[in-house]
Structure 1
Amino acid sequence: MDEELRRIRAIAEYQFGNGAGLALFPDDARIVHSRNTGRIRHIYLGSTLLATFRPNDGVFTLTIAAAKRLIADISDLAYTVTVREEVAEFISKGKNVFAKHVLSAGEKIRPGDEVIILTKAEVIGVGKALLLSEEMKAFKIGVAVKTRRGAETDA
């Protein structure tokens, strides 16, 4: 196996849990490097962008396509936030998730973690957690997740 592919899979395992590396990055994933630094920058599957590597903190930001791959392959993914159906339309357009709309959140979520935003049925966005999982469920005001990509805006 290619050394770089092994490395990005290991980072995905660290970031999202066991099984995430292979679920996200199959053997035919294509790695694109920065022209300036030569470091890993983007990971594609065919022509579809799956993830962008952030070298400043060493983790991935996901696309909707990558989130759907993770949800399909890993049933007990820890980094998910489930929201009310009524707000799904707004979040899928890229609006932030407010704490009062959170139904459940993975127990391991900490501020700064990359999370997948779900309704009961589907992936509607990905973003960065701003609160602990306990705070997301307990608070009635404030932003819980800063939405990075909505399902409609990332199509």
Structure 2
Amino acid sequence: MSDDEFRGLRRAADYQFGGGGGTALFAGADALDVTHTSSGRPRQVHASDGRIATYGDDGRFRLGLAGGTRLLDAFDGPRHRVVVGDESEPFIREGRNAFAKFVQSADGALRPGDEALVVHEDGYLLAVGRAELPGSGMDDFETGMAVKVRQGAED
């Protein structure tokens, strides 16, 4: 991977996840394996701990569990987090969606379509996915999908 491509990935992550997102996801270019589309655009970013992210056609990252873990470690709560309890944990780990009924708290800055980290109330990562409701209202809703889970953290 070229230095320009590495800096571009970091810039895109900083834009999407806020300051420090690029450094959290992409610590060093040497440890990353990037696959490209036939046109040469980055598609998948992998590291030794798994898939960090997929780079979408819209220029936004879709997090993998490795990327979610890196953001969770780098950012203090509640940034990018949706917190759930014991009742929904086994289902979310399997990759099922997180419903508003079970949300205890959420980052108020989350908007529908943003990448979200579904976290247990004890602080560990259960899944990564896409927010379907605004974070400011997730814990107020009684029905509906809060996060469309993309990948669960099965044991």
Taking structure 1 as the reference length, the TM-score comes to 0.91
Q: Distance in 2 between matches of 1:47 and 1:117?
A: 19
Paired position in structure 1 for 2:73 = 72
Contact 1:99–1:136 (8 Å) recurs in 2: yes
Which deviations, in whole Å up to 9, do the C-alpha atoms of 1:92-145 show, x marking residues without a partner? 101111101111111111111111100023100011111111221111011111
Shift of 1:75: 1.7
Q: Distance in 2 between matches of 1:77 and 1:41?
A: 29
Contact 2:95–2:150 (8 Å) recurs in 1: yes
Q: Secondary structure of 1:85's partner? A: coil
Contact 1:71–1:77 (8 Å) recurs in 2: no
Q: Distance in 2 between matches of 1:37 and 1:3?
A: 17
Which deviations, in whole Å up to 9, do the C-alpha atoms of 1:44-86 show, x marking residues without a partner? 113722110001x211111111111111122246211011122
Paired position in structure 2 for 1:107 = 108
**Partner residue of 1:143 out of 132, 142, 145:** 145
Paired position in structure 1 for 2:9 = 8
Paired position in structure 1 for 2:93 = 92
Q: Secondary structure of 2:109's partner? A: coil
Q: Secondary structure of 2:54's partner? A: strand
Q: Distance in 2 between matches of 1:132 and 1:54?
A: 22
**1:38 aligned partner, one-letter code:** G
Contact 2:65–2:153 (8 Å) recurs in 1: yes
Taking structure 2 as the reference length, the TM-score comes to 0.91
Paired position in structure 2 for 1:33 = 36
**2:45 aligned partner, one-letter code:** I
Aligned residues between the structures: 151
Q: Secondary structure of 2:138's partner? A: helix
RMSD between superposed Cα atoms in Å:
1.6
Q: Distance in 2 between matches of 1:58 and 1:97?
A: 25
